[in-house]
Structure 1
Amino acid sequence: MVDTRPILFFDSGVGGLSVLAPTRALLRQAPFVYVADSAGFPYGTKTEAEIAARVPALLGRLAERYRPRLIVIACNTASTIALGAVRSALDLPVVGTVPAIKPAAQASVTRAIGVLGTDATVRQPYVDDLAARFAGDCLVLRHGSAELVTLAEDALRGTVAPPERYRAILAGLLDQPGGDRIDTIVNACTHFPLVADQLAAAAPRPLTFVDGSAGIARRIAYLTRDHEWPERAGPGRAVFTGAGAADDTLRPALARFGLAETESL
């Protein structure tokens, strides 16, 4: 029997595509289902209680429906709040995404890094712990931006925002006391790598932007190293929890990420 179980990626929107892309490059025969919780979007402005209640319950239903071999919570906000609860509830491997503070600290020359995420992510004790463990000798500044999530969603649909909007978001980090020392910024939301080029172009000076997508892809490949795959993966599927989310402006971008089929729940 050929094992056709997919790897299931989960995010509030399209941000998790930044993690899907390097995973597809490593696992070319793997079938993928990408789920965007468009009915619950955005997560970054929700309370911890709302996310902690919604994500494990929804992933439980998705696991029953799609029978994945592994789930990737391709969302920093959901991972920093609900990863433990999801792992406890499901009898299958679950990979989370957390802010790439360790590689940022390793890359920083000035010993000052910025963490750019959603409001919900940057205030999490999980981020405090990462900073203490891996960037204890660094100044770590944080800024939450719901607008940047929207800009990334719009960019994937072909809408070009003026550089001033990206510049203003970066100012939330760089204008803080000590922000003039920052040389490395963590894109601590999976949406943000989708607009990393726009952020770099709008920055007032050269900055290094890092995220954990490549490392997450390697982790997924390691966990599935002994798995059997179909000879051909077939088209990937994009699933949206809200009706009308996969409109005609988004389908070309989904196809570029190998998601040729779409459905709404």
Structure 2
Amino acid sequence: MTDPRDRPLLFFDSGVGGLSVLAPARALIPTAPIVYVADSAGYPYGTRSEAEIAARVPALLGRLAERYDPRLIVIACNTASTIALAAVRAALDVGVVGTVPAIKPAAEASVSRVIGVLGTDATVRQPYVDDLAARFAADCTVLRHGSAALVELAEAKLRGEAADLAAYRVVLAGLFGQPGGERIDTIVNACTHFPLVVDELTAAAGQRLRFVDGGPGIGRRVAHLTAGQDWPDVAGEGVAVFTRLDARAEALAPALRGYGLGRIEGL
């Protein structure tokens, strides 16, 4: 019989972006068993249609819940969360934590009252983002820019591939080049991939900027929802699961080990 303490936390993303959510959660629950799932067969989500994501994510998470019996699922992807979170919660008999753009803390931090939201194309056009801006940043100018290139830059970084800062400057120009963009003092990293390259973004910006993301808050939420539960006495080897296990996935192995994911397998 399986020890109930071994039931894992399951983190889900289209790629490696969810590692920026996994890290703060593991810092708070260091011995939690971890299954990290990258939907590499569906990557990238940001350029897919809402209908594709709405159909794919609940079905895939249903398979994963059956296979791994997680105690909690974290959709560590802004695009999947803003489109499919409600459907996943309705379909599964397990707690599900989503990821949404950190517009509220950005508005609280901004002095200039001009905020940038940097996400995928699919995320930045969602009505959910309109609602967050209206609720928490009504007195701010909220500028948005979607970038598939920055997602790939983050993936490439974790594969050990170097990129010139010019590539990051091009991405940031999508925000700074908009009317009022020169007054941005706070940028929401509204894709979980983007905190993985925040050092590069900071260097490329060449000005004082504050970057905020939802990772730390999600980590606290996971800890709260699992408070009082039994965990293993020592941390075990986490597993990274890819829906397409290919050379690109295998190249991530060294970086994944740094996040406690010592084993890779395909779904």
Matched residue type, 1:45 = T
Is residue 2:123 matched to residue 1:121? yes
Provide the residue aligned with 2:21 in structure 1. 19
Question: Where do 1:165-176 residues align within 5 Å?
Answer: 165-176=167-178
How far the C-alpha of 1:249 sits from its partner, in A, is 2.6
TM-score by length of 1: 0.98
Alpha-carbon distance in 2 for matches of 1:245, 1:25: 30
Match of 2:141 in 1: 139
The answer for the alignment partner of 1:107 in structure 2 is 109
* CA deviation vs aligned residue, 1:18-65 (integer Å, no higher than 9, x gap): 000111110011100000000000000000000000000000000000
Q: CA deviation at 1:245?
A: 5.1
- Give the AA of the match of 1:63: A
Matching of residues 52-67 of structure 1 within 5 Å: 52-67=54-69
Q: Which amino acid aligns with 2:45?
A: Y
**Which residue of the partner structure matches residue 251 of structure 1?**
253
Match of 1:229 among 228, 231, 238: 231
Q: CA deviation at 1:158?
A: 1.0
Would the aligned equivalents of 1:184 and 1:208 in 2 still touch at CA under 8 Å? yes
Question: How far does the alpha carbon of each residue in 1:123-147 deviate from its partner, in whole angstroms, 9 at most, with x for none?
Answer: 0000000000000000000000000
Query: Which residue pairs with 2:209 in the alignment?
Result: 207
- Output the CA distance in 1 between the equivalents of 2:17 and 2:143: 23
Amino acid at match of 1:190: T
8 Å CA contact 2:239–2:263 kept in 1: the answer is: yes
What is the aligned partner in structure 1 of residue 194 from structure 2? Answer: 192
Alignment gaps of 5+ in structure 2: none
Instruction: Provide the C-alpha distance between the structure 1 equivalents of 2:214 and 2:161, rounded to a whole number of angstroms.
Output: 26
For 1:60 and 1:257, how far apart are their aligned partners in 2?
25
- In structure 2, distance between residues paired with 1:246 and 1:222: 35
Match of 2:6, SS state, is coil
Please report the TM-score for the alignment, with normalisation by the length of structure 2: 0.97
Residue 250 of structure 1 deviates from its aligned partner by: 1.1
Shift of 1:206: 1.2
| Structure 2: distance between partners of 1:97 and 1:161 | 27
Identify the match of residue 84 of structure 1 among 79, 83, 86.
86
Alpha-carbon separation, structure 1, partners of 2:224 and 2:125 = 31
Q: Counterparts of 1:129 and 1:248 in 2: how far apart (Å)? A: 39
* Aligned partner letter, 1:110: S
Query: 2:9 is matched with which residue?
Result: 7
Contact 1:19 1:217 in 2 (8 A): yes
5 Å-filtered alignment, 1:67-82, equals 67-82=69-84
- Does the 8 Å contact 1:236/1:259 carry over to 2? yes
Given candidates 258, 264, 267, the residue that maps to 1:262 is 264
Q: Structure 1 segments of 4 or more deviating over 2 A? A: 245-249
The percent of aligned pairs where both chains have the same amino acid is 72
8 Å CA contact 2:242–2:249 kept in 1: the answer is no
Matched position secondary structure for 1:39: coil
Q: Which amino acid aligns with 1:66?
A: Y
**Secondary structure at 2:234's aligned position in 1?**
coil
